[in-house]
Amino acid sequence: MFTRFLSALLLSAVVAPLAISAELEVDPQQDWYGKTPDNSLKSLAPKSGFVADSDAWEKLWTAWRPNEELPKLDFDRQIVLVGVVDGPNRVMMRPTLQADDIRFIAAGTRMAGPGFAYRLVVVDKGDAKKVNGKAISSGSTGEGSIEVTVVGTLESGLFAIGGETTGATITAQGITWELDLGNDAAFRKLAEEQSGKQVKVVGSLQCKAGVEIADRWIVTVQRITAID
């Protein structure tokens, strides 16, 4: 009898954690697998393991799947999980939701060879606030942000290959950061008027993965003030 009781107790201990983990539904039309012998492209994989904004999504898709049309996603309710393994292997992922945390592990087959393989899986965020313990923040790739105040020289009307620029920068003490002015017409007008001049910018600093530039440091502007 004691043996049956102990077995039941152990079984409940195993089953209990599984009961609070719900497997997330994945649309086969939003689940992409690929592989490439070019290891230099592997560095574009977000360190957080996910993409949570359209900017980073476009850069990653364009680099890894350049001959395919960019799928349109709704990042207000969706997130892209990014799994990477070495070599030309299949990538297996089974995302689950545990409380407010989306959890997944990228596992692969064991074929030797050059390059890496990846899998991009879109899931609904629902009430999730984290992915593998890392906070999901709107407009970022989950690496977090830093509130900054920068006094420096503003430049606007900039262009780059592949459109890899926000079109405006601020430079202070030899360091240049891009400025994300969003859709604020007043910010854009002020940036044009103050191009080449000293300004004070307040905003949040974030790092986004790029293609030509591996790490793009971007300040999402909250305030711009001209300095007379």
C-alpha–C-alpha distance, residues 188 and 39, integer Å: 38
pLDDT band at 203 (very low <50, low <70, confident <90, very high): confident
pLDDT band at 142 (very low <50, low <70, confident <90, very high): very low
Confidence at residue 9, expressed as pLDDT on a 0 to 100 scale: 38
Mean pLDDT of the chain: 82
Mean pLDDT of the 184-189 span: 83
C-alpha–C-alpha distance, residues 107 and 109, integer Å: 7
C-alpha–C-alpha distance, residues 19 and 190, integer Å: 55
Tell whether the model's pLDDT for residue 210 goes beyond 90: no
Tell whether the model's pLDDT for residue 141 goes beyond 60: no
Q: Which amino acid is at 110?
A: R
Domain 146-226 indexed as CATH 2.40.128.720: no
Confidence at residue 221, expressed as pLDDT on a 0 to 100 scale: 87
Tell whether the model's pLDDT for residue 10 goes beyond 80: no
C-alpha–C-alpha distance, residues 74 and 126, integer Å: 12
Q: List, by residue range, all CATH 2.40.50.500 domains of the chain.
A: 146-226
* Model pTM above 0.75: no
Q: Is 148 helix (H, G, I), strand (E, B) or coil?
A: strand
Confidence at residue 197, expressed as pLDDT on a 0 to 100 scale: 93
R_g of the chain computed on alpha carbons = 22
pLDDT digits (tens, 9 = 90+) for 13-52: 444 444 467 889 899 999 999 999 988 889 889 888 999 9
Confidence at residue 95, expressed as pLDDT on a 0 to 100 scale: 93
Q: In this structure, what token pair is assigned to residue 20?
A: 């609070």
C-alpha–C-alpha distance, residues 96 and 102, integer Å: 6
Q: Percentage of residues in the chain with pLDDT exceeding 70?
A: 82
Confidence at residue 140, expressed as pLDDT on a 0 to 100 scale: 45
**85 vs 144, 171, 224, CA distance in Å?**
24, 38, 43
pLDDT band at 85 (very low <50, low <70, confident <90, very high): very high
